[in-house]
Chains A and B, each alone.
Chain A
């Protein structure tokens, strides 16, 4: 479980997150949704410690992450996997080296054991025979898969995804969404996905949090989101044709 308590974050005097409190549940695909510029990415980066909150706390189970120093955070960070919007693979390393890096740095496994684990993770994301390719040689979907493989290589307990299907075609987006959803259940992870894609919400969303103008506007399940009594949320949700169809079907 990950819990944010009264998070406030501002940049140059502009408040980006305004008193956000929310709990993300273990073993579920938690989605943070909202328009571009609503503060989703800042919230995600605050949860993982890339941004320090001006006030408020982030809890990982019963540990107050916000109060820990760099070294103390390390033990929690080893339990965190993150998939960035652009993949964030190291350009100068091959697919295999990218996925193997956390194992190289933080385990005492033999080279053979590490390669077995890397190949297992690459097979899991259905990306075989790409070990020796560089990021520049991969398609957008392949980059996301490598990023997922790297994120899960250390068996993390928490998985964060920042717009994992941005820039992908609809079919590949579904593949990536499904993969993340499957992995979440397979490993019992607490997964938090940042997205403005309503297809993702309807496909894999189990708990949904709607952020608007830096504040938490609504939270609930995907069944509830179609009938929510919230104008801002409805404007956002029903801008998507798929959500409109889903409501019709539900009715």
Chain B
């Protein structure tokens, strides 16, 4: 328990360093763009593939479970849309990105730590925590909401494709369902969640990488810890944010 408190304390101390005044804004702008490409653009493919299949699976499962003449088929489109917007495109995509982006951040920064690249920055007088971590956090918080929107659109498209391909329902019914009882606040809610999750993934992964010590085995262990802790914190905040924003 004490160790957990110690870890949390060290995390906040590191975040204090990360959010202290940046060295030079122009350098940070360049690094943010680089990180958007590295963390965000490079995740589009994975997000798209997972979303299209999950959208199709949700539509299929709904059609099996709502197999009653008293339930309109358009509910399949409605359920697919709601599932994608409310939970899948933010929380589940965040969990997947915690694996991909989180492990990449932890191992990159961890390797920099054990090969003394971070020490080299410190010697130059650079605030290494801010220089390395802040651009990643900002890039993810800006770019991940686009991934969420993309995931929602592609997931809904996946549902439509499976409806059209298998004949489980008329695609027009699916579209009717998509338009049924739409609340724009759901989008706001999922985007707020995504911004939180982006911060959680990047900051926690960077924390474990930054504190890696020893050799490559330690970097691997730090990367694993980063993913596990990020996932747990994402789920915890998913619950808290849903309580705060929806109920």
Contact = CB atoms under 8 A, between A and B. Distances in A.
Interface of A: 45, 48-50, 70, 73-74, 77-78, 80-82, 84-86, 88-91, 101-102, 104-106, 150, 154, 160
Contact of A105 (B24, B112, B116, B119): B24
A241 B111 CA distance: 37
B24 A104 contact: yes
Interface of B: 23-24, 27, 111-112, 115-117, 119-120, 122-127
A88 B117 contact: yes
B120 A84 contact: yes
Given A104-B27, A105-B24, A105-B27, A86 B125 contact: no
A50 B121 CA distance: 11
Contact of B125 (A50, A77, A104, A160): A77
A88 B120 contact: yes
A102 B116 contact: no
Contacts of B117: 88-91
8 contacts: A49-B122, A50-B119, A74-B125, A77-B122, A78-B125, A80-B123, A101-B124, A104-B24
Nearest to B120: A88
Contacts of A88: 115-117, 119-120
B87 to A, nearest CB: 35
Contacts of B127: 70
A74 B112 CA distance: 21
Nearest to B117: A88
Q: Is the interface of B mostly helix, strand, loop or mixed?
A: helix
Contacts of B120: 82, 84, 88-90, 150
Nearest to A77: B125
Contacts of B27: 104-105
Contacts of B122: 49-50, 77
A89 to B, nearest CB: 7
Contacts of A91: 111-112, 115, 117
A192 to B, nearest CB: 13
Of A49, A85, A106, most buried by chain B (CB within 10 Å of CB) is: A106
A105 B119 CA distance: 16
Of B24, B117, B119, most buried by chain A (CB within 10 Å of CB) is: B117
Nearest to B115: A86
A69 B246 CA distance: 46
Closest 10 CB pairs of A and B: A77-B125, A88-B120, A88-B116, A74-B125, A82-B123, A84-B116, A105-B23, A88-B117, A102-B124, A78-B125
Contacts of A86: 115-116
Nearest to B122: A50
A105 B115 contact: no
Contacts of B112: 90-91
A86 B122 CA distance: 16
Contacts of B23: 105-106
Given A91-B112, A105-B27, A105-B126, 10 more contacts: A74-B125, A80-B123, A84-B116, A85-B116, A86-B115, A88-B115, A91-B111, A104-B24, A105-B125, A106-B124
